[in-house]
Amino acid sequence: MKTISLGIGALLLTASTAMATGPVVTPQYPVVVTPPAAPSWAGFYAGGSLGVGSANYDLGGRYTNLAPVDIALNLPDLGGQGGLFALQGGYNFQLSSRWVAGVQLDATVTNIANDTSLSVAIGANTLNASYDLTVRSMYTLGGRIGYLTSPDTLVYGLLGVSRGNFEGSYAADINGTPLVNGSYDFSLNGAAVGVGVETRLSDRTTLGLEYRYNHMERYSFYDGPALGGNLEVGFDTAVHTVRAMVNVHF
């Protein structure tokens, strides 16, 4: 009987304790949702571009001798327009969540050309002359530095060096009878500066738009003795291009 009484007492004590303390409440913690990581711009990329461009040739000459006499002559500028196709590739470094730097190499083929012609009547005869100058190709190695206005959009500047390949052709006739004709090629080095924007279409694909200015070194038609002095005649070349590009990132 004593054992039964002790058991009943323990049961009553447990029940009274539970009633005193109330029901057990399990704490509720908020669910933390981790946002997806921003896409990285670091790594290799390659792609193609289509665009349009123009070239401006600033003609001029200078005559000097021992007097000293120094005469400069500025001639009318020549200009031309055309289309372009380019292949580009490079590597980006993600410097921070907002800044991206990289290096890029591109090869551009163009048909940017000017066609200059002249007709002069000499009595009953007519002298016809023409001169064509075309930007055939350009190669640029440059560095890019850009700012991410959003995780998917990069605004950047470009600075680099270029080498351009040009073709010139000329012809002259009198009343349709050829006097002279020919063509020649030459290459010029220069500097490149540009600005652009590039935005993601998907995790690996971007679409961009870029303006670029190339200033090339002077090309001399003639640089040598003349009338007891030295005569230099040539032109400075500036090439402007706007291109739309698609890149695939690896």
**Structural domain boundaries in the chain:** 42-249
The encoded tokens of residue 135 equal 């930007």
Q: What per-residue confidence (pLDDT) applies to 2? A: 47
Q: What per-residue confidence (pLDDT) applies to 4? A: 47
Place of tokens 């993600």: 94
* Mean pLDDT comparison of 8-22, 104-118, 188-202, 210-224, highest-scoring range: 188-202
The SS3 assignment for 179 reads strand
Mean pLDDT of 161-189: 93
Yes or no: say if 186 and 220 are a contact pair by the CB < 8 Å rule.
Answer: no
Residue-wise pLDDT tens digits, 224-236:
887 777 888 888 8
Collect all residues with Cβ–Cβ distance below 8 Å to 177 and sequence separation of at least 6: none
The encoded tokens of residue 78 equal 């020549």
Residue 124 pLDDT > 90 = no
Spatial CA neighbour of 100 closest among 234, 235, 208: 208
Going by pLDDT thresholds of 50, 70 and 90, the confidence category of residue 68 is: low
Q: What per-residue confidence (pLDDT) applies to 25? A: 60
Q: What per-residue confidence (pLDDT) applies to 91? A: 99
Q: Calculate the alpha carbon distances from 67 to 30, 43, 147, 224, 228 in Å.
A: 91, 61, 56, 17, 10
CA distance 194 to 88: 15
Fold assignment, 42-249: Porin (2.40.160)
Q: Which amino acid is at 226?
A: A
Higher-pLDDT residue of 49, 220: 49
Residue-wise pLDDT tens digits, 72-117:
655 556 788 999 999 999 999 999 999 999 999 999 999 999 888 8
* C-beta atoms surrounding 164 within 10 Å: 24
